[in-house]
Amino acid sequence: MGLLPDFFWSAMNAFVDWADGLGLIGLGILSFTEAIIHPIPPEALILPMLIAANGSWGMILAIWFVATITSVAGAVVGHWLGQRLGLSVAERLFASHHVKRLQNLTRRYGEMGVFIAALSPIPYKVFAWVAGMGEMDRRRFIQAGLLGRGLRFGIEAVAIGFWGAELMDILSDWKAWVLVSILGVALLIPSKRWWDGLLDEEE
């Protein structure tokens, strides 16, 4: 699986299984540590937990709250590490092209870049390090992260926690898959161009 050895992924799978057994505490641990260093997204536990919540408002809100708060808390640690350890360590831990892209994202968009990284599949942990290296204001970093992470996990909570059965019924229709695929491609092409453009230096 990619550049990382098989034993790493075996250890990650064991970690997810262990966290799953701890319920919300395990979700918090997974979400917190993912925002600092490891590649397993919180959705590895969020999605099955939302399905298991079976429409319970209290449990769905608890999952959303724990995932959001602990993810942003982990990113704050990443921000601090970026301030203390700097670019040389970041480039040993993360792909240099990711670091360069996110440096440009920080430079061009500021706090909006935090929101974009928190909401999207952009590696939030790398962005946290880069934001710390760039001395981004920590309070604004937290505010943007809470908004972006809260919206991302909130959409999942509503879609899966409350409308999961209905979504499965819709997606069982081949016409829905065709529509989703067309929309996905329509969004992917400009998103890919924008992402690749982040490697370009500012003029």
39 or 175, greater pLDDT: 39
Of 41-55, 80-94, 133-147, the range with the lowest mean pLDDT is 80-94
For residue 64, name the pLDDT band (cuts at 50, 70, 90). very high
Q: What is the pLDDT of residue 128?
A: 84
pLDDT exceeds 90 at position 194 = no
Q: What is the pLDDT of residue 30?
A: 93
Q: Give the domain extent around 25.
A: 6-163
Residue 158 lies inside a defined structural domain of this protein: yes
For residue 53, name the pLDDT band (cuts at 50, 70, 90). confident
Residue 55 lies inside a defined structural domain of this protein: yes
Q: What is the pLDDT of residue 93?
A: 67
pLDDT exceeds 90 at position 41 = no
Of 38-52, 67-81, 94-108, the range with the lowest mean pLDDT is 94-108
Residue 84 lies inside a defined structural domain of this protein: yes
Q: For the chain, what is the domain count?
A: 1
Of 24-33, 110-119, 130-139, the range with the lowest mean pLDDT is 110-119
Which residue from 78, 74, 96 is spatially nearest to 149, judged by alpha carbons? 74
Mean pLDDT (whole number) for 8-19: 83
Residue 106 lies inside a defined structural domain of this protein: yes
**What pTM, to 2 d.p., does this model score?**
0.75
Mean pLDDT (whole number) for 172-195: 61
Q: How many Cβ atoms sit within 10 Å of the Cβ of residue 162?
A: 16
Mean pLDDT (whole number) for 48-66: 90
For residue 16, name the pLDDT band (cuts at 50, 70, 90). confident
What are the pLDDT digits (tens) for 153-169? 998 888 887 776 666 66
Burial 14-37 (b: 16+ CB within 10 A, else e): ebbeebeeebbebbbbbbbbbbbe
Residue 70 lies inside a defined structural domain of this protein: yes
Residue 180 lies inside a defined structural domain of this protein: no
Residue 176 lies inside a defined structural domain of this protein: no
pLDDT exceeds 90 at position 27 = yes
Helices (DSSP H) in the chain: which residue ranges?
A: 6-20, 24-34, 43-52, 57-93, 96-109, 111-119, 124-133, 138-156, 164-171, 174-197
Q: What is the pLDDT of residue 1?
A: 43
192 or 150, greater pLDDT: 150
Residue 191 lies inside a defined structural domain of this protein: no
